Chains A and B, each alone.
Chain A
Amino acid sequence: MNATFDRSKLTVGVLALQGAFSAHEHALRRVGVSTRQVRLPRDLDGVDGLAMPGGESTTMSQLLDSSGLFDEVSRRLESGLPVLGTCAGVILLASAVLDGRSDQKSFGALPVTVRRNAYGRQIDSFETDLDVTGLDQSFTAVFIRAPIIESLHGDVEILARHDNLPVAVAHRNVVGVTFHPELTDDFRIHGLFVDLIVNSLETNRR
């Protein structure tokens, strides 16, 4: 990767309305960037990327609205801010959500259809080893009441599959992962996300 960038000068926002935001902060710090909890629009000032954690997508959807963050995050997504969404984060990013609440809002930044809680209840949650594009060795993926990406619409790269279903996808600067890379001590997926941020900054600079 590009050595001209000092990663410790990068600040990655972590959406901290509800969910596993502290685990994402830990993972991102371990791959060398600074983090900031994002609860209000002003918290987005100066962030180079944004992580949307797992948690309850219905809860986060409501808090995005009441905090005024929904419109501000939409604007940043349109202007190409790199975003990593995990589990509920994928639901927030998707263009279509099945089995959601009727008032649930999504950013539509990832052209995929996702189904909420598609594996069943918590006793059906599991972990398994996966091959992920860009990683030499397999990654232990933890799925917690996870959504399923049922269909892709347009230019979406599949980074990992499980049981023939896409579980990690990318579209432009948006990465969606239905499992929880923040729940293990393996931070390689966060590392790939920071690579994406660095590449995008380099591209913009040129």
Chain B
Amino acid sequence: MTGNVSGTFRVKRGLAEMMKGGVIMDVVTPEQARIAEDAGACAVMALERVPADIRRDGGVARMSDPEMIEGIKAAVSIPVMAKARIGHFVEAQILQSLGVDFVDESEVLTPADETHHIDKFGFDVPFVCGATNLGEALRRISEGAAMIRSKGEAGTGNIVEAVRHLRNIIGDMRKITQADSAELFEWAKRLQAPLPLVQEIAETGWLPVPLFCAGGIATPADAALAMQLGAEAVFVGSGIFKSDDPAPRAKAIVEATTHFRDPEILAKVSRGLGAPMTGIGMDEINQRYAERGW
């Protein structure tokens, strides 16, 4: 290799690796971004409305205003992520040109393409994509995603869907490590996923990129649950800034994500945080964001 080579898959995946064990927080203003950084966030997601507000307002949700993203970039020294609509490669081009550190091709925004996701190999900026099951995760990786997050159900403050999706993804990986070589063809067919990626899981027991959890985390215990189930880091969207007292809750979720196997520390950091976001049951919502993406 001569000289510097940027935008390789290793360089993109590398940043995902650096975020392991951390908390990525949704923020809508520079001030919130500073609160997140003060609390120990390992990155922030810059967006105009947190998912709970997108859900309440309805209408078409799009990429955020570049000016707003620039403001958040200027406010903090940690990595800044931003969301593009599924399949909207021009929004992704704009986010890359803004120097965003990670693009989330996100089902929380209204999809721009109901058949195709973005060809993420065509970008130097790394992408994270959501998944509800292993097949979806592997299709996103085959398109170039450098990180997978379980989708959960954003904006609900309800962890039930995140648990379902993590158990789907990780449970199937466990089964694949038990399969013989002939059964792997059937797994690839059933998952609608590329065979080489299925074979890689059989060998390593894990995805070729980090697996994080998103969608519904509202408490330190929720974050630790996701981590104990096997997530390698967590995204918290509405859960922090839709709660009564965001700063201490943010810090408590950071502590809980690090010390996720230590019930005494979890009990300590869970104390006196004020009310979490109210949250909604799955039978109360009419639009499931997790169903977006294919």
Contact = CB atoms under 8 A, between A and B. Distances in A.
Contacts of A161: none
Contact of A127 (B1, B19, B37, B79): B1
B23 to A, nearest CB: 8
Contacts of A85: none
Residue from the set B18, B20, B22, B258 with the largest chain A CB neighbour count within 10 Å: B18
Given A20-B17, A56-B22, A63 B10 contact: no
B122 interface: no
Nearest to B259: A39
B78 A123 contact: no
Interface string A181-204: 001100000000000000000000
Interface stretch (B84-92, B94-102, B190-198, B278-286): B94-102
A87 B5 CA distance: 18
A58 B78 contact: yes
Contact of B6 (A56, A63, A126): A126
Interface residues of A, number: 43
B24 to A, nearest CB: 10
Counting contact residues on chain B (CB < 8 A from A), the size range is: 35 or more
Contact of A55 (B3, B7, B21, B124): B21
B42 A59 contact: yes
Q: Is the interface of B mostly helix, strand, loop or mixed?
A: loop
A133 B20 CA distance: 30
A39 B6 contact: no
Interface string B1-42: 111111110110111011111100000000000000100111
Given A19-B20, A140-B1, A63 B15 contact: no
A51 interface: no
Residue from the set B5, B17, B19, B232 with the largest chain A CB neighbour count within 10 Å: B17
B14 A180 contact: yes
Interface string B96-124: 10011110000000000000000000001
A116 B11 contact: no
A4 interface: no
A72 interface: no
A122 B4 contact: no
A99 B5 contact: no
A62 B22 CA distance: 12
A36 to B, nearest CB: 14
Contacts of B125: 122-123
Interface string A54-68: 111011001100110
Contacts of A107: none
A18 B262 CA distance: 15
A127 B21 contact: no
A55 B14 contact: no
A56 B19 CA distance: 7
14 contacts: A18-B257, A18-B258, A54-B17, A55-B21, A58-B77, A59-B22, A63-B40, A63-B255, A100-B77, A122-B102, A125-B6, A145-B18, A180-B14, A180-B17
Interface of B: 1-8, 10-11, 13-15, 17-22, 37, 40-43, 77-79, 96, 99-102, 124-126, 232, 254-255, 257-259, 262
Interface of A: 16-23, 39-40, 54-56, 58-59, 62-63, 66-67, 87-88, 99-101, 116-117, 120-129, 140, 142, 144-145, 180, 183-184
